[in-house]
Every structure is written in structure tokens, then in C-alpha cells.
Structure 1
Amino acid sequence: MKKSQRVIARFPARKVGTRLGIAALFCSGLALTSVDAQADSGSQVQLYGLIGTYVGSLKRSDMPQSAVLMGSGGLTTSFWGIRGNEDLGGGVSAIFALESFFQPQNGALGRSAADPFWSRNAYVGFKGDFGQLTLGRQRNPMYTAESLVNPFGSSVVFSPLVVQTFVANYGGTIIGDTVWNNTAKYTTSNLKGFGATVIYGLGGAAGSPGIGNLGVHLNYQGHGLTAVLSGQRVRYTAAGPVGAQYAYLAGAAYDFKVVTLYGAWAMTSDVSTPTGSHTYEAGLSIPFSPADFLLAEWARTQRSGPTHTTNSLRNTAALGYDHLLSKRTDIYAIYSIDKLSDHPIGNTFAVGIRHTF
């Protein structure tokens, strides 16, 4: 049995929701077709993803009571997708990816009802020695950069840096989603560890050619060091004229073998409001064995603005233990503490599991 056939066998349509079942059958047809296509034209299609969930008691500082729940994702938001490439010759390939978030605890698609079907990525483009150019709905590179410089990665549940900048319930300082619509994104090829990404989101508003979003991102990975430098502009419309928020991120991580240290700084500025913020983050990851890791992180965000609600201080810290059961499955336990100005301390306890396929 081919690898693509083995993967699809894990998703019998009668055990999932109707739309997901139809999509799985569609993916099955693509993957089975790609077995022959790969031999004839150098093209291939893959089905892949990650499923994870956690159980815990969640209480932010501004919540009156804790909530006992089973959540989707946890350390990584659950998703599934299909991707493919075709060799066009001359070192150039056509590529595409279609990815959808889902909630394993209730079977719903998306992170919420507001998400489209292909909520994580939906793009097509080209890849070669020149780099990669893609068009469609794509992950915000600033969110990707943050995941590289904190020990809890891309977690929108447990990473203090991510929740304070991108999660609305924690007063996220950065306007916009972790995924941008209507974007053109260019990423350079790896140049001795250095890379750059430019992303532009077309506004699509009649008579407003300048409403598009823009991001410029630099990174370096090599010799145990990861470093990122990002800047983005997000424009938005409210009751008045078009407003704009500018956000910046600088961060690094260094692997000392016995411990990996993380640090980051982020700021936002909205001159039309006016409001702003400064976020500082520090963290570490200690490998007790090839399969056991201690994770710790703290982030502090100071917001400034014309009102009491926009002028606040938040501190969030998390301590976790991650154990790898195999190359594709891990289990973890996490404790988090959160403190917002003029509110009592909130405590969160959770255990979870992740599995990639």
C-alpha cells in the first residue's frame, strides 16, 4: 500500500462530519491519482495534518470564575490539509496548499464558526532557486516569527507571547488574524541561513487602493541561533476614516545544547486612536532527555491609550512538561498564571496530547 493510501485509510468518511467526509473522499481521489501522476510528470499530492486536544481548568485574570473544558489544539491548533507540486522544468515547480483548522472535541470545522473552510492556508504559486511566490489566503509571517522565538511555539492557548499579541481574550495587541486573506507573498531562498519574506494583502475596497496590508520579515537560522526581525502595517475601516496600526517584532533563540534561551520584544502603534503597546518576553527549554522537555516562558505587555481600559499592564507566565511518545505523538502538562491590572490572579492547569499524520 502506498504512503498516501495508508494516510487516507485513517479517515473513513462515515466517522466524520458530512462536509469533512466529502472533502476526505475528494482528497482520497487526488492522492490515489497522484500515485500515477508522480511517475508520469513528477507531480505529487500529499494529505497531512495534526490533531490535538487538551483538558484543563482555564482562568484568565479578567474571568470571574474558572472554566473546566476540553479544547482543540493546545500546543498546536489542529488542522488537516493537502499540498502538491509539479516539476515544470528548469528548477521551477508549481505548488499549492489547502489547509483547514478543525475542532476535534466537537468535530466542527475551523477555529470558530467565523472561519472559512480552508482557514489555515489556501494558496497556489511557484517555487525555485529564486525562492517562492504564492497567492491566496496565507499565514501571517509575524505570527510565524513569534513561534520561532518562544518555547511554546505557535500555541494560541499557552504561549504568553502569542496570547498577549494575537489572542483577543487576552487583549491581543496586534490587529488582525494569524492568517491574512487576498495576499501575495514572496520568500527568498535560503542564503547561508538568512531569509526574507514580503507579504501584501490587497484591500479589495473600491476607491481605496491604499487600504492593503503589508509585512516585511527577516530571519536567520544557523549555528544554534535563530533570529527574527519583523514589521507590518494593518489598515482597517471603522466609523471614521481608514486607520492603520504598525507592529514590530525582534526576537532570538539560542540553543546551548543543555538549554535553549528565548527572548523577544514587540510593539504596536496606532496614531489615529492613539493607542500603543510594548511587550517583552523571555523563555527557556531544557531537554532532560531526547524525549523530555521542560518549557518556561513569561511575557509582559504595557498598553497605553487615552482611557483606563486601553492603559493597562498584563503579566502572563507558563510552565510546561512535554514528553515525546514517538516521532509523531507527544503528551504534555502545563500550568499558567495570568495577572491583569486591577484584577485578581488567574490560574490555568491543562494536560494534552498531539499527533501528527
Structure 2
Amino acid sequence: GYAMLKSLFTFAVLGGSAAAACAQSGVTTYGVLDAGVVGERGCANGCTTKVGSGVASTSRIGIQGSEAIGDTTSAVFGLETELKLDTGRAADRQEREQGRERLEHQAWVGLSGEFGAITIGRQYNLQYLALTDVADPFKGGTAGSATNLIGGPRRTDNSVQYYKTLANGFSAGASWAARDLDTSAAGRAWGMTVGLSSGPLTVRAAHRNQGAVRANLNYKTSNDMTSKNSLLAANLRLGWGTAYAAYSMSRGIASSPLFNPDNPYSVGMARTPSTRSRDVLFGMAVPVSNSVTLLGSYIRKDDRDLANQDANQAAFGASYSVSRRTDFYAAYSHIRNRNGAGYTVGNASAPGSGNKAFNVGMRHAF
């Protein structure tokens, strides 16, 4: 049913995490193939209906594995790159022109054992994982993705991460990243996370600091060149389904989805991002049969800048599982931007162009 599919796709999203690596032996190939139709409305330069790749989960292929190098220690690694099912390429034309043809998702190596796991390379941010794994019923995909309004970049280059599962359902992790192109603070980052899984309740807190380059001198507020994203995420499994909630505090010029250091080329495409906000999410996932699950979420972004560019997102969706690895999905989301805010409805692979979007598609994991 949907619960098994959700676990499979969550595993694929977290395929490069230390926790997943610890469970592997030898070399494993995995992936997700996802394609759908994306219809948008409310675009500044006109909307289109198009075929999209990686709408609910980014289409990707990866390998990961481990080798025992002692009684309790293993060497682990992971490589993961995106696939474009709509064109058959590893990157679209804009990404090729910008020199972004690479292992865009993850590339890391490390050690795991009783001490936990430490990995080095390009990896998912701890704050992003807390949001999508714990608080977002849409798991960071389709039009309902919580990343439309909450958080900053998904991944960080040159990062070192440590993660350990502790006793009694507790877990903890930390990360640090260095800038390798120059000696400025841009790109330098650190983060931490703690979590608890006890019975039907899962709670995780995460914080991230990252240096940023000022791309526009006309920002509404401070000279703060550091983005700070703090998140408290939770879900509670009940008899009728699962309830989700999150509270986020974001500060700094690169703390908004409109300013994404993962893709700095998009800075000039959107309106001025918020530099200080408080965000609240409520959501639910309700199975109505062994195959069908209904999804819904509401997010309020409370912009604390003088411009007060608030935004609200309401999203609804459904998943129909036809096997343990395959499902069909549909989702609709509407963002109400206030006082000139420019947030758009994206999905797992694209930032979107309008304030409304509808998706329908198919996803298969292997």
C-alpha cells in the first residue's frame, strides 16, 4: 500500500544518508523514475502546460555500498545523479549552459560503525531532511511541496556530516562545509539536528547557518550575510492517518526559497526574497483504502521585513499505489502572495513559474 511506497520513496530521497549507508553491504544500484504533466497559472510571463520529469520525486539513479574494514567499521560511499525523463538528458539546456552537468544530487564517501557514521562530499542538508522526511506530507514533491515557502538550499558542497542513532529512539547529527574556490565566507556552513521517534510520534529539530554572497545591493533590510534556518518538525500517526506540523524561523538574505544558493542563477528571476520570517505548516495524510491516500497541507509564511511580503499555500493531493514500487499521483497547490511577494508553486525538480499549479503523473522506484 501507500505506506510501503512512501517508505521506498523516502529511502530513495535519503539514499545518500549515513543511516541508509549503514544498512548496505556490497554495492547497490537504486533509482526513481518519475514523469507527469504540470499545468501552471498566474505566471508573470504567461503559463504553459508541459511534461515534467521528477514531479513527485526527482528522477535519479544512484549507487551506494560498503566494505567491512574491521569487526565493527565499514567504508561507505554513495553517488547519485538526476535524470530528465522528458528529454532523456542528465541536464536540461539551461543547466548545460550554466555548466551544471555533474552529479547534481550527491557524491560522498565515509566510515560507519558503532560510533555512528561520518561522510564527506556533496550531501543533503540536515534542515532540508527534517522538513521533507518528518513534517511535509508531500515529502518535498509535487505542487504541495513545503519547500515552495520554507527553507533554503537542499544540498551543500564540500560538507562533512556526522550522524548517530542513540538509545531510546533518539538520534543526533552535525555538519560542516567549507568553501573551496576562495577564502570568503560564501558557502561556508554548519548545522545540527536532534530527533526522537517514540511509538506513533516523531519529532526532529534542525538548524543551519550558511554564508552567502550578496547578489543585489537593494535588499530591504540588513547587511547580514549569513542565512539561518531553524526548524522544529513533527508527525503523529493516528487511527485515521498521520498529522504533520512544523515551525520554522528564517533569517538572512539566503534563507528564503526565492534565493537558492543551489541555483544562484535564478536570483534575478524572482522578487526580493524575505530576510526574516516565521513559517508554520499543518498537514495530513489519510489512507482511504489499501491503495489510495489523500494528502493536504497549509503553510503560512509570516514575513517580518518592513515590506511584510507574507504568503500562504494551500495544497491537496492523492496517491494511488498499484504495487510496492509504483504509484500514480495528482496534486494541486495555490500560493496567495501579499504585498508583492513572488513565491511560486514548484515541485521536486522545478521551482515553478506561477502561483497555482496542478500535477498528475506516475512514479516507479527500483
State the TM bucket, normalised to the shorter chain. Answer: 0.7 to 0.9
Whether the 8 Å contact between 2:51 and 2:86 is mirrored in structure 1 is: yes
Provide TM-score, normalisation by structure 2: 0.76
Q: Is the 8 A contact 2:195 2:202 kept in 1?
A: yes
Structure 2 residue corresponding to 1:82, chosen from 43, 63, 66: 63
Counterpart of 2:125 in structure 1 is 140
- Give the aligned partner of residue 284 of structure 1: 284
What is aligned with 2:199? 223
Contact 1:247 1:269 survives alignment (8 Å) = yes
Stretches of structure 1 lacking an aligned partner (at least 5 in a row): 1-41, 167-173
- Pair 1:249 & 2:258 matched: no
- Cα offset, 1:211, TM superposition: 6.4
1:71 pairs with one of 52, 62, 85: 52
TM-score of the two chains, using structure 1 as the length reference: 0.78
The answer to whether the 8 Å contact 1:205/1:211 transfers is no
Query: Which amino acid in the other structure matches residue 102 of structure 2?
Result: F
- 1:346, distance to aligned residue in structure 2 (A): 4.2
The answer as to whether partners of 2:73 and 2:112 remain within 8 angstroms in 1 is yes
CA contact (8 A) 2:274 2:303 kept: no
Q: For 1:211 and 1:109, how far apart are their aligned partners in 2? A: 25
SS of the aligned residue for 2:279 comes to strand
The residue number in structure 2 matching 1:105 is 86
For 1:200 and 1:67, locate their aligned partners in 2 and report how far apart those are by CA, in whole Å.
40
State the AA in 2 paired with 1:276. R
Between the aligned partners of 1:236 and 1:64, the Cα distance in structure 2 is 29
Give the Cα separation in 2 of the matches to 1:189 and 1:263.
23
- Structure 2 residue identity aligned to 1:255: R
Letter in 1 for 2:121: G
Task: Determine whether 1:339 maps to 2:326.
Answer: no
Structure 2: tracts of 5 or more residues without a match: 1-23, 218-222, 255-272, 343-353
Shift of 1:269: 1.4
Superposition deviation, residue 91 in structure 1: 1.2
> How far off its partner does 1:158 sit?
2.1
Count of equivalent residues? 302
Contact 1:183 1:202 in 2 (8 A): yes
**Which deviates further from its counterpart, 201-210 or 278-287?**
201-210
Q: What RMSD, in angstroms, separates the aligned Cα atoms of the two structures?
A: 2.6
- Which of 312, 318, 321 is residue 321 of structure 1 equivalent to? 318
Q: Give the 3 Å change call, closer, same or farther, for CA 121–274 of structure 1 in structure 2.
A: closer
Q: Deviations over 1:230-286 (max 9, x none)?
A: 111010133788811111101110000312101111111128999311111100010
Cα drift, residue 337 of structure 1: 1.5
What's the counterpart of residue 167 of structure 2? 191
Residue 142 of structure 1 aligns to a residue whose secondary structure is helix
Q: Point out the more displaced range, 333-342 or 268-277.
A: 268-277
Distance 2:334 2:140 in 1: 18
As a proportion of its length, which structure holds more strand? 1
Distance 1:145 1:43, change over 3 A: closer
Following superposition, the deviation at residue 108 of structure 1 comes to 2.3
The higher relative CO (CA closer than 8 Å, separation ≥ 6) is in 2
Structure 1 pair 320–252 and aligned structure 2 pair: CA distance change class (3 A): same
Distance 2:188 2:242 in 1: 37
Q: CA deviation at 1:206?
A: 4.6
Cα distance in structure 1, aligned partners of 2:292 and 2:109: 38
**SS at structure 1 position matched to 2:299:** strand
How much has 1:74 moved relative to structure 2?
Answer: 1.3
Q: Return the letter of the residue paired with 2:140.
A: S
Identity %: 26
